[in-house]
Amino acid sequence: MLEFIITPHTSAGPVLFGLTRSDIRALFEYEPEQFLRGGEEDTDFYNPLGLFVIYDTDQKCVAVEFTGPAHVSLNGVQLLELSKKEATAFFNTDQELDRDASGYTSYQYGVGAYYEKHKKPETVIVFARGYYD
């Protein structure tokens, strides 16, 4: 299984923020499902990888979101395995860590997670600077 290693605000594995949709599609052997996520975000979903790639209006990648079976890590830690408590401890150097009942967003690292009713995150998002502006 491909491991997506995060470089904050820059990339997750081979997916670099700023790459075009065609450049990203050339990285993978799978055909993605293309749709508007939430009715707004132009997204490609690679089901076998558990990977959502989110594009801006110029068709450039601005974020990626992961769900099972993806392996996504930051500094050697598998983020899809962290409980909210573990994630809060892991991101404790981020003075602007945004936490709520459904998860967290670390603007310092360009990472967030959504926890529905599970002890582990349902999804982990990795984003470029300015994604939430």
Flag whether 25 is in a domain: yes
Tell me how far apart the alpha carbons of residues 64 and 62 are, in angstroms, rounded to a whole number.
7
- Number of domains within the chain: 1
Q: Could you tell me the residue range of the domain that residue 107 belongs to?
A: 3-127
Flag whether 65 is in a domain: yes
pLDDT tens, 27-48? 999 999 999 998 899 999 999 9
Of the pLDDT bands very low, low, confident and very high (cuts 50, 70, 90), residue 101 is: confident
Parallel/antiparallel/unpaired status of strands 3-7 and 71-74: parallel
φ/ψ region of 59 (left if φ > 0, alpha if ψ in -120 to 50, else beta) reads: left
Q: How far is CA 106 from CA 42, 59, 89, 111, 123, in A?
A: 23, 25, 12, 5, 14
pLDDT tens, 8-20? 999 999 999 999 9
Parallel/antiparallel/unpaired status of strands 77-78 and 71-74: antiparallel
Flag whether 132 is in a domain: no
Flag whether 46 is in a domain: yes
Phi and psi torsions of 113, nearest 5°: -145, 150
Flag whether 133 is in a domain: no
Question: Side chain identity at 52, as an amino acid letter?
Answer: F
> What number of CA atoms fall less than 13 Å from residue 67's CA on the CB side?
13
Whether a cis peptide bond, with omega within 30° of 0, leads into 69 is: yes
Supply the pTM of this predicted model.
Answer: 0.95
Of the pLDDT bands very low, low, confident and very high (cuts 50, 70, 90), residue 49 is: very high
How are strands ordered across the β-sheet holding 61-66? 33-37, 41-46, 51-55, 61-66, 123-127, 111-114, 103-106, 98-100
